[in-house]
Amino acid sequence: MKSDITIVTACDRNYLWGAFLLIASASRNIPQVPIHLLQTGFTPEDIAFFTQFPQVSVIQLSDEDSRNVSNRKSEAILSADTDYIAWLDADCMVIGDIRDQLIPENGEFQIRLREPCENAWIWCEHYQPGDKKGSIPAAVAAKWQEDVNQLKTPRHDTTCVANTFVIHRRHLDFIRQWREQITKVLPSGNHGLIDKRSPAYFMIDESVLSSVVAYSDITPPISAFRLNRDPNAHVAHFGAN
């Protein structure tokens, strides 16, 4: 039976074992869901670790982009041909049967938006006098609005989390816009997962995604994030460990 959703992820060889944990856990808990792993630097033996799972396709990332793999998530998303596409970072793990939680409640787009306390921690080094703690620093918001150059006022005063999100393919133009903004505002080359040279975009791909979610005129309607609610069926993210 054809699945209506594909899980996609991407990594280089540094994240091989994280990707293996993600894919093995998904294969155990939701074996009906196809998985695309886009990779660079894997050996044939590495690839065999993943292709032992029948629903997994291992795809070579192109050599045309030298940026960090985190800035190339759109390539993985655009590789899928199902109605829904779920991006999961290669340091995530699937706990239980999450099939019901994967599909956005509004049929459009589910992504987690940060609470004010999280924003206050993320932007603590960037606030200027007059900024409201828990919001986006005014200088950062102004830079995002200028660079996206579509909406004048943001949809919300928060950031999104790019480690897990699900989108319907009717919104792939939004994903392409995200990719174009990354090319526009982030320097070429691999500068790691954090680049403090650019305060507005120091979280690289996630900062750019937050900017287009806030200021793009084609941002999909966002539904509640459901993949962190059920202790028996959720996505665990090990990014800070």
**Ranges in the chain, pLDDT < 70:** 1-3, 66, 189-196, 239-241
- Positive or negative: CA dihedral 157, 162, 33, 169: positive
pTM attached to this predicted model: 0.94
- Strand 234-237 and strand 92-95: pairing? antiparallel
Q: Pick the closest to residue 157 from 123, 203, 128, 181 (CA basis).
A: 123
